[in-house]
Amino acid sequence: MKESDAQTDVMRLLPLMAGLWLGYVLILLLIDHLFYPRPVFPPPYYLINGANALIVLGLSLWPQGRKWLGGAFLLLVIGLLSVVPTIVANVVVLPAPHIQASSPESIMLRQTPLLLMALILTAWQYGWRYVVFFSVGIGMFTLGLHLCFFNPGGASITPPVTVVLIQTVSFLVVGYFISVLIRRLEQQRASLVRANAQLTDYAAALEDLTISRERNRMARELHDTLAHTLSALSVQLETVKAYWDVDPAAAQGMLDRSLQATRSGLQETRRALKSLRASPLDDLGLVLALRSLAEEAAARAGVRLDLSLPEAPLALDAGVEHAIYRVAQEALANAAHHANAQTLALRLAVDHTGVSLRVQDDGLGFTQAQAEAAGHFGLPGMRERAQLVGGELSVDSQPGRGTTVELRVALCE
């Protein structure tokens, strides 16, 4: 804990201590007038201690005064709490001839609450070493004043020495525990500062990771729309260029098909961008979103659709639903664009072990070597989505026998 932190804590504590100080003086005054024929303490005692309490309260509420006094402010408060009441009790009160209602030892003990407040400030601000100096010093100071100003007839000094000894030992014990508590508070604050710094670093790392994942997600969403369209368009334009002088009519037909592919790719890109802004899952739920997705893909490719979906809405984790939807979207898009199939099938099933998605077509199929040579990101993207939700993705495809994409995710109990 920095010194400024400790000083802030003490400044917050001082108004309360000043209030307790005033309350204690008033209680003593009430006790003296109710239970003793003559007050134990004369009026100067109450006036001096009341004035001291008001001075401390005023300084604690006056920032400019604290700033002007600087480091001497807290020493002044400790002195007003300990030295001044001790001097008043031993110099003004005890030698008074009418003081017979209480023993000198009990009068010395009446100073203990004020000394205890000074001890708390010392332990809070300065630590255990100064607690020892304060406890021993105030004990010797009290005993010295008592012996100098009040020792009628050479009375035994054993009682006051005993009181001072008990007071000193008590102060040492209390001061030790307060010092330990303050030290623990310092350690906790330091740990909190370190934890806050670590949390800040973790939040920054998480933000970077989130941005990275979002970039990958956008790449997966867009590669089968814009990337596929541009790739096909590039091939068609190269063909148009080759046929332009040889067969203008064929080149013109290819150019028309290129324009059509461009319009189709633009629609696909807009559809993908729209899905990035608001997922159909949010509006329709997984079952209806898959139905809409499959019907749209089948209509676009002109194939027969075979759907098998649960009748009731599913209660799945949002991340699992999103992964299923995107894998289905990718598989359906690949089938519609590349498979040249006659039938497209989508099946979603849920049992007690998990949920499974199957997208199947009877199209051209492909080999693993062909998929790697194409350099597309569709299959890696689907596998990444499966891994993010702890699922397994399998792709079974052979030339001339179609393609089956299956995703299975185990449900947590």
pLDDT at 212 over 70: yes
Pairwise pLDDT comparison (181 vs 97), residue with the higher score = 181
pLDDT tens-digit map of 256-266: 877 877 777 77
Answer yes or no: CATH 3.30.9.10 is held by domain 285-413: no
CATH 3.30.565.10-classified regions of the chain: 285-413
Position with higher pLDDT, 387 vs 210 = 387
- pLDDT above 60 (res 131): yes
Q: What is the pLDDT of residue 278?
A: 46
Model confidence at 356, pLDDT cuts 50, 70, 90, reads very high
Sheet bearing 304-308, strands edge to edge: 304-308, 343-350, 354-361, 403-410, 392-397
> Which pLDDT does position 132 carry in this prediction?
92
> Could you tell me the pLDDT band of residue 3, with boundaries at 50, 70 and 90?
very low
Confidence of residue 32 (pLDDT cuts 50, 70, 90): confident
> For 230-236, what is the mean pLDDT?
73
What is the average per-residue pLDDT within 3-9?
A: 57
* SS3 state of residue 307: strand
Answer left, alpha or beta for residue 99, where phi above 0 means left and psi between -120 and 50 means alpha: beta
Helix (H, G, I), strand (E, B) or coil at 207: helix
The mean pLDDT of 221-248, rounded to a whole number, is 74
- Taking the C-alpha atoms of residue 292 and residue 275, their distance in angstroms, rounded to an integer, is 13
Give the pLDDT score at 406.
93
First to last CA, the chain: 47
Give 157's contacts (C-beta < 8 A, 6+ positions apart).
Answer: 147, 151
Mean pLDDT is highest, among 86-100, 145-159, 329-343, 381-395, for 381-395
Burial 376-409 (b: 16+ CB within 10 A, else e): bbbbebbbbbbeebebebebebeeeebbbbbbbb
Mean pLDDT of the chain: 79
Report in angstroms the alpha-carbon separations of 174 from 122, 124, 349, 367. Answer: 11, 12, 70, 82
Q: Do 90 and 149 meet the contact criterion of CB atoms below 8 Å apart? A: yes
pLDDT category at 279 given cuts 50, 70, 90 is low
Cα gap 367→39, rounded to integer Å: 108
Based on its alpha-carbon atoms, the radius of gyration of the chain, rounded to whole angstroms, reads 44
Q: How confident is the model at residue 7 (pLDDT cuts 50, 70, 90)?
A: low
Residue 348, pLDDT score: 93
d(C-alpha 270, C-alpha 264), whole Å: 10
DSSP annotation of 61 = T
Provide the token pair at 152: 């009628």
CA–centroid distance for 79 within its chain: 43
pLDDT tens profile 398-413? 888 889 999 999 876 5
Q: In the prediction, which pLDDT does 102 show?
A: 54
Residue-level pLDDT at 359:
93
CB-CB contact of 202 with 210 (8 Å) = no
User: Taking every pair of C-alpha atoms in the chain, what is the biggest distance, in angstroms?
Assistant: 139
Q: Is the pTM of this model over 0.75?
A: no
pLDDT of residue 345: 93
Model confidence pLDDT, tens digit, residues 66-104:
778 777 888 888 888 888 888 877 776 655 544 444 566
Helix (H, G, I), strand (E, B) or coil at 345: strand
Amino acid occupying residue 81 = L
Q: 177 or 378: whose pLDDT is higher? A: 177
62: left (phi over 0), alpha (psi -120 to 50) or beta: beta
Polymer length in residues for the chain: 413
Residue 210 pLDDT class (50, 70, 90 cuts) = confident
pLDDT of residue 224 exceeding 60 = no
Q: How far is CA 392 from CA 218, 235, 324, 397, in A?
A: 22, 35, 11, 17
In angstroms, the CA 44 to CA 93 distance is 9
For the segment 151-173, what is each residue's pLDDT rounded down to a tens digit?
555 556 777 788 888 888 988 99
Q: What separation in angstroms does the CA of 29 have from each of 76, 95, 99, 101, 117?
A: 25, 19, 15, 14, 19
Res 39: pLDDT: 67
Given a cut of 80, whether residue 124 has pLDDT beyond it is: yes
What pLDDT does residue 157 have?
Answer: 73
With a cut of 70, say whether residue 273 has pLDDT above it: no
